[in-house]
A and B are shown apart, each in its own frame.
Chain A
Amino acid sequence: MKSNLGWAGFFIVLWLCFQLAFGAGQGLQTTINSDGFIASIEKRVALDLPRLRLANMRFKTVADNASVQKYILQLNVALTSLSSSVYLNSIQGIAITDPVKGENLSRSLYTTDQQIELKLTQIPPPLLNRLNLYAPFMALLIVLLSYVRANKVKTLTTVKTEALAPQPGKLVINMRDKSIQYGADNTVIALPNKPFCFYAALLDYCLQNDTACLRHNNDVPEELLQIANKYFYRLIELGHTKRKRPDFGANLDKTLSEIRSVLDEVFQHHVQAKELFYPPKAQGEGSRSKMHNYALANNDPLRIEFIGR
């Protein structure tokens, strides 16, 4: 209901705006037309002055009212045929018997010995003419387009949101917010740069190397380090950090510990699935022996999704 009122309000505002613009255009043209017709009347009367039987004090001639009135009526008929809004009512005080009603205007023509007064009338355009069908039509068109567009945007947003929603049983590594999420679980955990990049690189590395063997007593493989570096540079691109690139080969135990700690939280409700994404811990005495491998067991790319990679 509220949204419908919003669209209706939008339509009315647009209608009014277009109506005002229409009125402004019409008003300007009406003024131009009036000026044109006033000039045309002045010109016509000025040209006909020698043939009009008007009074002249100097030459003691008197006006022939009937012929002047007939002339004014003829002029007004001509103006009507031109769709004029301006009409002539009198020349030198000789008025027609049924003058046109409207806004009165006066103009003077100056001859060598006389000043000829013209009384004109301007008829304002009817109010109905000020309304037009274009304004509501265009307003309706824009509102409809906006409505359709807004509907489409929402649909796309919904689809996109749905697409972004993690699938059940899938680990989501989101580079955009530097977080880890599992399945449809709402638990989204953000990580510091170093463990995040290293874990993302570890997942990537293990997917590419099914039989990867990562031992504590060996150096971290160069390929893994390069992948970790790549993810770090991506974080810089996304604006997460401006810091110097960390040494992913150093303090490996601490890094893995941080990763495990976060994964414990992420898989809080999915303990069984955790094993696939969890770097194995060393068991019992001599955990730092040559036999311990912290490579991940999962090698199914369909269960891992990287966002913003």
Chain B
Amino acid sequence: MSFNKAKIYRGILPSLIGISLILSWYIGKNDTEINNYQISNLISESAVCETHSIKNSDTFVAFITDQAMANKLLSALCKNKVINRQYGKVEVHWSHNEQNIIQYVGKGIADLALVKENVMLAFAAQVTHGYQVVAKYQDYSTYLISLKEKPQLNKQYLWGKKLGLLDYPSSRSGHIVPKGMLHELGILDENIEIIYVNSHEALRDLLASGKVDIISSFWKSQDEERFSANYITPIKSKISGSKWYLKMATANTDLLCDIQKSLLSLATQTQSEYYSQLLISPSYCALNTRPGPKL
């Protein structure tokens, strides 16, 4: 048998080759085809659990700024007897974003919220939506903390220094109090170098690394491992701690008392020095979870 082009059927062969070329192209295209490019939501800012009252359509909404604590709170609320009786679902939302705080509290969306008093006062939420304090953390003081010397609260000392502050304006110890001090001392932003970070831990890292001379924050016992208690200077004391607010649209005292129980239970589980020192208010509930301090 010899290869003779003339003998290869003239009409069918080119058609067959053409069809095969198109088919190869299509197979190649189809081989790598992806139909779904959509990336689903990656950032979670809420967690939900269902109570025993499945038929109940009411949802208990809680808001908090700390994500780590949010999960524990959800667990505690889902075990809460009164919530299980009165609500079908519990949602815990968390966010650092101050706009979200305003939305949840300012518009009365949250049934339970852990927020700073100044925020609550700014929106008069206690009057507008009937929020009532059910527990609070201990008052604390704001300090200027330095690495190598005790800071002085005067213009001469602070002039030209590098000061570490928090970048969110609702923070009292990391922003409001030190800014107010600078203003009182007549130190303008041009006279001092301010370096912003977004957490109290980041402030401590900044000071320890020597990138700033002073930071403004609260003082906790663990800080003595990194800094000297001799090199701190109080700027302001008796700053009220964050408070738990419960929206009391009705005189739902059972709920108030059971929420207090849950919060006390939560305080015993946390390892945070700050969050473990919870004070309950008002004190008429018969709480037997822990003989905690009363307001």
Contact = CB atoms under 8 A, between A and B. Distances in A.
Do A and B actually bind?
yes
Interface of A: 2-3, 6-7, 10, 14, 17-19, 21-30, 33, 36-37, 39-41, 43-44, 48, 50-53, 59-64, 71, 74-75, 78-79, 82-84, 125, 129, 132, 134-135, 138-139, 142, 145-147, 149-151, 153-154, 157
Interface residues of B, number: 43
Interface string B25-45: 111111111101111101101
Contact of A145 (B2, B7, B16): B16
A150 B7 CA distance: 5
A146 B96 CA distance: 73
A192 B197 CA distance: 113
Given A25-B26, A134-B27, A145-B16, A150 B1 contact: yes
A109 to B, nearest CB: 15
Given A14-B17, A61-B167, A150-B1, A25 B29 contact: yes
Nearest to B45: A51
B38 A40 contact: yes
A21 B37 contact: no
Given A17-B17, A21-B25, A50 B97 contact: yes
Contact of A51 (B12, B39, B97): B97
A79 B38 CA distance: 9
The 10 closest A-B pairs by CB, nearest first: A25-B28, A6-B3, A25-B29, A22-B28, A21-B24, A26-B28, A36-B37, A25-B25, A3-B2, A18-B24
B156 interface: no
B271 interface: no
Contacts of A142: 13, 16-17, 20
B39 to A, nearest CB: 4
Given A74-B42, A75-B42, A153 B9 contact: yes
Interface in B84-114: 95-97
Given A21-B22, A150-B4, A132 B27 contact: yes
Contacts of B170: none
A19 B29 contact: no
Given A62-B167, A146-B13, A44 B39 contact: yes
Given A21-B24, A61-B198, 15 more contacts: A18-B21, A21-B25, A26-B31, A29-B32, A44-B42, A53-B198, A63-B198, A78-B42, A82-B36, A84-B37, A125-B32, A134-B27, A142-B13, A149-B8, A149-B13
A147 B37 contact: no
Contact of A154 (B7, B29, B42): B7
Contacts of A33: 32-34, 37
A153 B43 CA distance: 70
B181 interface: no
Residue among A6, A25, A75, A145 with most chain B CB within 10 A: A25
B275 interface: no
B196 interface: yes
A44 B38 CA distance: 8
B188 interface: no
A150 B13 CA distance: 11
7 contacts: A17-B21, A21-B22, A28-B29, A33-B37, A71-B42, A132-B31, A150-B4
Given A62-B198, A149-B9, A150-B7, A29 B37 contact: no
A3 B1 contact: yes
A25 B24 contact: yes
B34 A83 contact: yes
Nearest to B34: A33
A3 B12 CA distance: 21
Contact of B3 (A10, A19, A84): A10
Residue among B4, B39, B40, B198 with most chain A CB within 10 A: B39
B244 to A, nearest CB: 25
A124 to B, nearest CB: 12
A23 B33 CA distance: 13
Contacts of B198: 53, 61-64
Contacts of A40: 37-39
A92 to B, nearest CB: 14
Interface string B197-238: 111000000000000000000000000000000000000000
Contact of A19 (B8, B24, B34, B43): B24
B196 A135 contact: no
Interface in B131-182: 167-168
A22 B42 contact: no
A244 B96 CA distance: 109
Contacts of A51: 43, 45, 95, 97
Given A74-B42, A82-B34, A138 B7 contact: no
Interface in B25-67: 25-34, 36-40, 42-43, 45
Nearest to B32: A29
A211 to B, nearest CB: 51
B217 to A, nearest CB: 16
Contacts of B23: 134, 138
Contacts of A139: 20
Contacts of A23: 28
Contacts of A134: 23-24, 27
Interface in B258-274: none
Contact of B39 (A10, A41, A147): A41
